[in-house]
Amino acid sequence: MIAKTIAAIIGGGLVSISIMLNLNYLLPLDIDTRLFVGLLLAFPLWIATMVWCYSSTGGVQAWKRCIYLLCCSATINTYFVVAG
């Protein structure tokens, strides 16, 4: 249970931040509105990632889920940084 908790807290936080960076690049709004949307959506997204980690069978599977999501999101972030 402690392995799933650590994966949920650390991995879920990183996933939440990375997905919010994706939304920051994708939303066609002013910067202050994008930051406000990111502020409002980051915590519920982190909670959803935590629930997804806790629903896994063990700590290794929870980390695999977080790492998979983080790699996908980081790849998209890298594309936006390099292309833009």
Q: Distance between CA atoms of 47 and 55, rounded to whole angstroms? A: 12
pLDDT digits (tens, 9 = 90+) for 9-43: 999 999 999 999 999 999 899 989 999 998 999 99
Structure tokens at 25: 């690049």
Our measurement of the distance from residue 32's CA atom to the centroid of its chain's CA atoms, rounded to an integer in Å, reads: 21
Q: Distance between CA atoms of 76 and 84, rounded to whole angstroms? A: 12
Kindly report the pTM of this predicted structure: 0.87
Contact 69, 15 (CB under 8 A): yes
pLDDT of residue 1: 86
Q: DSSP 3-state helix, strand, coil percentages of the chain (rounded to 5)?
A: 90, 0, 10
Confidence check: pLDDT of 79 > 90: yes
